Amino acid sequence: MSAEKDTGQPAAIPTAADLRKNLLEKQLAAMERDDKIRDREREERAKFADEFFKDHVGEAERAIIRKVVMRAVADGKMEALVYTFPSDFCTDNGRAINNADPQWPETLQGKAKELYDRFKAAAQPQGYKLKAMVVTFPGGIPGDIGFFLNWEAPIA
């Protein structure tokens, strides 16, 4: 049994002002939650940018790339997306890559440049190919750049 007694009276009807206040409180709570999420995303992006421009590609990242490649091979593929980074980390915000400009490597910075240089020195002589493409277009503008490593035999 309920602790409340049924008085037979209908429950009080909330005022329109009470309903508006309740709705406003819910909207404010949602805005605060969204602000916290955006702040956390900004902090994560700032940390990623700091590491991208100041640190070197580590053994852990190289191990992940090797694992991605081996998984692609196991799946019968001849190409794998091995690295992504924001297009605004390029000196031209990804324009050269988006337009397939042959000079696109000159726009690379940070870890992307380091990975490209390592590809040129170690992987390309072994028969690998690398292409860079814009892989996301938020709001219709270049978002993330992807490096695709390819080991397909040359076409004769």
Whether pTM exceeds 0.85: no
pLDDT score for 5:
60
Instruction: For residue range 25-74, list pLDDT tens digits in order.
Output: 999 999 999 999 999 999 998 898 999 999 999 999 999 999 999 999 99
pLDDT tens-place string over residues 79-89: 999 999 999 99
Closest by CA to 87, choosing from 129, 150, 137, 139, is 137
Percent over 90 (pLDDT), the chain:
82
pLDDT in tens, 79-117: 999 999 999 999 999 999 999 999 999 999 999 999 999
Per-residue confidence (pLDDT) for residue 3, from 0 to 100: 52
* pLDDT band of 139, cuts 50, 70, 90: very high
Smallest Cα–Cα separation from 65: which of 47, 45, 81, 41?
Answer: 81
Mean pLDDT, rounded, of the chain: 92
Residue 28 is which amino acid? L
Identify the sign of the CA torsion 145, 69, 111, 60.
positive
Q: SS3 of 102, please?
A: coil
In contact, 137 and 143? CB cutoff 8 Å: yes
Q: Are 64 and 118 in contact (CB under 8 A)?
A: no
| Dist CA 17 CA 32 (whole Å) | 22
> 65 with 71: CB under 8 angstroms?
no
- Rounded to an integer, what distance in angstroms lies between the CA atom of residue 156 and that of residue 152? 12
